[in-house]
Amino acid sequence: MTPISPESKYFPLSLDSLRALGGWVADCAERALGVYEAYSGEDQRPREAIKGIRAFAAGGARTAKLRTLALSAYAAARESSDPAASAAANAACLAASSAYTHPLADIQQTKHILGPAAYAALALEFSHPEDTDIGDREISWAIERVPQEAREILLHMPARNPGTGNRLERLMYDLDAGIRRK
């Protein structure tokens, strides 16, 4: 478990803001869902996780079932031997878990906001290696569609650093920076 930084502080966070975030991250994660389903066949865990966050975003309750759906999608990601399918399942997992974003200004919380789009972009990069710009286009797509409520949540949190060369970290940084500039 990552310790909470002493500089971290809490901020107001409404269910309406979490619902707006949930709808957007569901849209982002769903763009890579076909990558997972092409690999997995009948396994519906990531799809069910996205359905769960969509139900929450539409006004549903934040229940233990949503947490279970997120954990099931995470298990699907861990069980996958295909990096593209694993990234797509991780996008669905983080989308479903976005409903549990803590109102805490901590860098670790930014994964709930940025992770679904970044993992979806990574999944598409892995599954389309011939298209060298697909990940960057996905990040641009996500930035263009981010709702103001999700942007405001992110603005309460510390900005991400460019990372150390890991592609996922770079995608999250680019998304973070793009949303902050918007």
How many CA within 13 A on the CB side of residue 35?
28
Residue 10, in any domain of the structure:
no
Residue 5, in any domain of the structure:
no
Residue 71, in any domain of the structure:
yes
- Please state, for a pLDDT cut of 90, what percent of the chain lies above it: 91
Query: Closest Cα to residue 34, out of 111, 87, 95, 99?
Result: 87
Residue 4, in any domain of the structure:
no
| pLDDT tens by residue, 94-149 | 999 999 999 999 999 999 999 999 999 999 999 999 999 999 999 999 999 999 99
**Number of domains observed in the structure of the chain:** 1
Specify whether the CB–CB gap between 82 and 89 falls below 8 A: no
Residue 148, in any domain of the structure:
yes
13 token code pair: 């966070």
Q: Which residues pair with 104 in a beta bridge?
A: 10
Residue 1, in any domain of the structure:
no
Domain, as residue range, for 99: 15-181
pLDDT band at 5 (very low <50, low <70, confident <90, very high): low
